[in-house]
Amino acid sequence: MAEDGREVPTLDEVARVAGVSRSTASRVINGRTYVSAKAREAVAQAVTSLGYSPNMLARSLAMKRTNSIALVVSEHGDRVLGDPFFARVLRGVHAGLAGSGLQLVLLMAQDEQDHGSMANYLTSGHVDGALVVSLHGEDPLPAQLVASGLPVVLCGRPLAKVAVPYVDADNFNGAGQAAQYLIDQGRRHVGTIAGPRDMAVGIDRLSGWRRTLSMAGRPTDAIAHADFSLEGGMAAMEQLLTAHPGLDAVFVASDLMAIGALHVLRGRGIRVPEDIAVVGFDDSGLAATSVPPLTTVRQPIEELGRTMTWRLLAQFEGDVELPPSVLLPTELICRETA
């Protein structure tokens, strides 16, 4: 550490300069009552003349509250930073923090086995709570944190059966919306390119699709799983096409996969949406600029971050009766593929 130029003034000095006790100075600084106007004035003077600003560390130690929360990315940092989804969540979190006086500590796994040290850091009193963005479901971190008594809110439904509050997009109903839209358009045989079976988003979007179709008495046999990648989407589309020649619509569980499907369709000379309608999910930047522009289910990503933050802050306030989880409504964005 560099030795700082001027010494940082402490509360004691402020008190001394103002000619009052430390207690009184503290009261003034924290805007507490039971302080005479004279004392208040003197302290205010001293504060400005000394350029005093309270040492947060000491305050935190005394109050057992740090005024900062962690945004934990329990994935390897590099992988996630390029992800626009993450950037938007971060944006939402940041917006949600506005005016709360809380600071954001960014915590990302460095190595694969960094979880221990992260849990350690989090539970050792450095932050008041944590927002966890955990991309794969079987992550033990959230459970550990909750067990240690740290307020935690997750981004996305956890797969593990742990009682930790989370905020997620309403994937189930979003997929339902898409399916319903396709049905309403008179599509007879609606397939789906689903996400991985071991991710909550994949599962939820699949079951939403399935439920809506079966309620409408339509077949739910045309299912192909993929891994949310472009290539995966392409392969799944091929697969669907061979297995179900009669398909006239497909709900794809992510925009990126949908773009892949679109490629395949174009390659085969199948017209979209005339022959086969396509609906994606996410409304990522890709959707608007694909050719043709993708009809998709928008999930409110910034809102996700904002809501997580709200949920955590509410927990700080001691709000009781907080919903254990909240699902954010999705919106069907109609463009040209359906």
In the list DNA, its own copies, none, the entry touching 11 (Cβ below 5 to 8 angstroms by class) is DNA
How far CA 162 is from CA of 69, 140, 144, 165, 305, in Å, comes to 21, 10, 10, 9, 21
Question: Within positions 290 to 329, which residues make up the interface with its own copies, using CB under 8 A?
Answer: 315-316, 318
Q: With binding defined as CB under 7 A, does residue 30 bind DNA?
A: yes
Question: Within positions 135 to 174, which residues make up the interface with its own copies, using CB under 8 A?
Answer: 147-151
| Euclidean distance between CA atoms 306 and 75, whole angstroms | 21
Closer residue to its own copies (CB): 153 or 213 = 153
Helices 301-316 and 84-97: crossing angle in degrees, nearest 10, is 40
How far CA 327 is from CA of 24, 167, 250, 307, 330, in Å, comes to 47, 6, 24, 10, 9
| Euclidean distance between CA atoms 293 and 237, whole angstroms | 18
One symbol per residue from 60 to 89: x for binding DNA (CB under 7 A), - otherwise; what is it?
-xxxx-------------------------
Q: What angle do CA 76, 164, 86 make, to 5 degrees?
A: 35
CB 268 to its own copies: min, Å: 25
Q: CB under 7 A: which stretch of 53-61, 91-99, 200-208, 302-310 binds DNA?
A: 53-61
Q: With binding defined as CB under 7 A, does residue 297 bind DNA?
A: no
As beta bridge partners, residue 296 has: 280, 333
Q: With binding defined as CB under 8 A, does residue 288 bind its own copies?
A: no
Take residue 110 and report the two structure tokens written for it: 């460095």
Closer residue to its own copies (CB): 36 or 103 = 103
Q: CB under 7 A: which stretch of 18-26, 108-116, 169-177, 281-289 binds DNA?
A: 18-26
Q: Is the dihedral of CA 295, 262, 223, 86 positive or negative?
A: negative
3-state helix, strand, coil in the chain (%, to 5): 45, 15, 35
Q: Which of 36, 45, 49, 55 binds its own copies (CB under 8 A)?
A: 55
**DSSP H/E element including 332:** strand 331-333
CB 54 to DNA: min, Å: 4
Q: What angle do CA 176, 178, 179 make, to 5 degrees?
A: 65
Tell me which residues touch DNA (CB under 7 A).
8, 10-12, 19-24, 26-27, 29-30, 33-39, 52, 54-55, 58-59, 61-64
Tell me which residues touch its own copies (CB under 8 A).
1-6, 8, 53-58, 60-61, 64-66, 68, 71, 77-78, 81-82, 87-88, 90-91, 94-95, 97-99, 103-108, 110-111, 120-121, 123-126, 128, 147-151, 315-316, 318
